Amino acid sequence: MARFLLRRFISSIPVIIGILALVFALARMIPGDPCRAALGERATDEICDAYNERYGLNEPILVQFGIYIKDVATGDLGESFRFGVPVTQLLIERLPTTIELAGAALMIAVIVGVPLGIISGYRHNSKTDVATMIGANIGVAMPVFWLGLMLQYIFAVFLRDTPLALPPSGKLDAGLIPVPFYEAWGLPMNGLTEFLSEFTIMNALVTFQSEILSSAVLHLILPAVALATIPMAIIARMTRSSLLDVLGLDYVRTARAKGLRERSVILKHALRNAMLPVVTIIGLSFGLLLGGAILTETIFNLAGVGKTLFDAITSRDYTVVQGFTLVVAISFVIVNLVVDLLYTYLDPRVRVS
């Protein structure tokens, strides 16, 4: 198992280097001048020369790339042109928001999508099945930004002043400031503790800040639902078709002939096999979630990776674009590594002897 892990890990290194090169090139292909984007249209040539000198932007492109690779390898992702703070600091502050959002969305997508898929696969061609599949097709086709706006309209405008009202934007109610757990526990503040304390819900849970906790959860519902819709629809469809395939196989007949109750036949014998392709899809949906996070965070005004990346692209903040894209790509690689491991757990046929 350790060897398998190591091999999978090593094989993802070229992928990451490829991503680095691509992102580096793409960021420099965005038309416009980073100096004037950061300092304004009226910056003089002298100021811009100094600016380019300071950030190494006057070096040949290959040299810039070489410097970048060396810096990344030493954990230095550069400094944001726009904010003047290290990119790692921005990541510490904003990555947890996105992880919470994507995690909640993935949970909703799996918890709702898989059972829906099972029901419509088992009650194949029934009214429930048809309704679920129509819903799933609409879900796949619905643009995230439109759904987000509709949810905001329904829950924050139309249902305002009812118990069903939900906050349409931000992470917490105005005026609430969470106490980071390291302060509550008397731990020193460093990169790691600061990073962990930015997980608002987890932080509120471990320090028993109930008001913050409920506010954070309520604020998370709408963006998480908006973000979850597409992967949920994909997961439901995949579960359905995969279960349908499996239900026709010989070993399902054997399970029935043994005298197993239908529920065990489906949930034990069929589902474990049917979940194999679904797990792959769940891993791939993670990429979809990160892409969707850009739109969701922008609409719901959450200062996460997506929104930061969006702002960085529009203001040509190269280092932020590079740093954040790198982190997103690496997390994608990690998630798919986890999927591979899950696969070897679920399916003995892919286990390495």
Partner 1 sequence: MTTTAINDPVLEIRGLETHFFTRDGVVKAVDGVNLTVGKGEILGLVGESGCGKSVTSMSVLRLIQNPGEIVEGTILFHGEDLLGLSEKEMRSIRGDRISMIFQQPVGSLNPVFTAGSQIAEVYEIHESLKKKAGNAKAVEMLEKVGIPDPERRAKAYPHELSGGMAQRVMIAMALAAGPELLIADEPTTALDVTIQAQIIDLMREIRNDLGTSIIVITHDLGIVAEIADRVSVMYAGEIVEEAVTETLFAHPKHPYTRGLIGSIPLAGDRREWLEVIPGRVPNLIDLPGGCRFAPRCKAREEAGLKICTEQRPELINIDDAHTVRCFLYQEGAK
Compute the least distance from the CB of residue 256 to partner 1, in Å: 5
Nearer to partner 1 by Cβ, of 150 and 350: the residue is 350
254 binds partner 1 (CB under 8 A): yes
Compute the least distance from the CB of residue 268 to partner 1, in Å: 9
259 binds partner 1 (CB under 8 A): yes
CA of 320: how far to CAs of 50, 128, 179, 249, 309, in Å?
20, 47, 28, 51, 7
249 binds partner 1 (CB under 8 A): yes
**What span, in angstroms and rounded, lies between the C-alpha atoms of 72 and 13?**
13
263 binds partner 1 (CB under 8 A): no
Q: Angle, to 10 degrees, between the axis of helix 318-346 and the axis of helix 2-11?
A: 150
123 binds partner 1 (CB under 8 A): no
- 């099945």: which residue's tokens? 129
Nearer to partner 1 by Cβ, of 145 and 343: the residue is 343
With b meaning 16 or more CB within 10 Å and e meaning fewer, what string describes 79-88? bbbbbeebbb
**What span, in angstroms and rounded, lies between the C-alpha atoms of 168 and 149?**
9
Q: How far out from the chain centre does Cα 69 lie?
A: 25
261 binds partner 1 (CB under 8 A): yes
240 binds partner 1 (CB under 8 A): no
340 binds partner 1 (CB under 8 A): no
**What span, in angstroms and rounded, lies between the C-alpha atoms of 260 and 266?**
10
Compute the least distance from the CB of residue 254 to partner 1, in Å: 5
Given a contact cutoff of 8 angstroms between Cβ atoms, the answer to whether 55 and 81 are in contact is: yes
239 binds partner 1 (CB under 8 A): no
62 binds partner 1 (CB under 8 A): no
Nearer to partner 1 by Cβ, of 216 and 255: the residue is 255
Query: Which positions touch partner 1 (CB under 8 A)?
Result: 249-251, 253-261, 269, 272-273, 346-349
